[in-house]
């Protein structure tokens, strides 16, 4: 009799352990990234470009910016009516943000 009880107890422990390993299919995906602070990227979204009396301005991530302004860790180097060129202040890498067209990075970054 004690053997049956021991087997039932062992099976219930195993079942509980297996149930804890199941993932909830309705839960949002859990993403973990290991990056160094220098390797982190920042999503920049060019939302609009506007010609104003003081010059062309770009709206990136909700902020109005002109050439020479900074959006850490980037500096705005060039603004045209179709694109904005930004330069990473630490690495010097340049990135072009597009607002129109079928080019890769359209409405975002390349």
Q: Residue 26: its pLDDT value, please?
A: 80
Full-prediction pTM beyond 0.75? no
Q: Going by C-beta distance under 8 Å and a sequence separation of 6 or more, which residues neighbour residue 107?
A: 45, 46, 98, 99
98 vs 110: CA distance, rounded Å: 8
Look at phi and psi of residue 93 and say left if phi exceeds 0, alpha if psi is from -120 to 50, else beta. beta
Q: Which two tokens stand for residue 71?
A: 């959006």
The string of pLDDT tens digits covering residues 16-50 is 555 556 677 787 766 554 444 444 456 889 999 99
């Amino acid at each position: 009799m004690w053997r049956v009880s021991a087997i039932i107890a062992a099976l219930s422990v195993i079942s509980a352990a297996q149930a804890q390993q199941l993932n909830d299919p309705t839960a949002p995906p859990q993403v973990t990234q290991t990056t160094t602070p220098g390797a982190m990227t920042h999503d920049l979204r060019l939302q609009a470009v506007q010609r104003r009396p003081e010059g062309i301005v770009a709206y990136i991530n909700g902020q109005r910016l002109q050439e020479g302004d900074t959006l850490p860790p980037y500096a705005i180097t060039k603004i045209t009516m179709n694109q904005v060129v930004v330069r990473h202040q630490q690495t010097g890498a340049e990135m072009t943000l597009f607002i129109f067209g079928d080019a890769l990075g359209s409405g975002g970054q390349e």
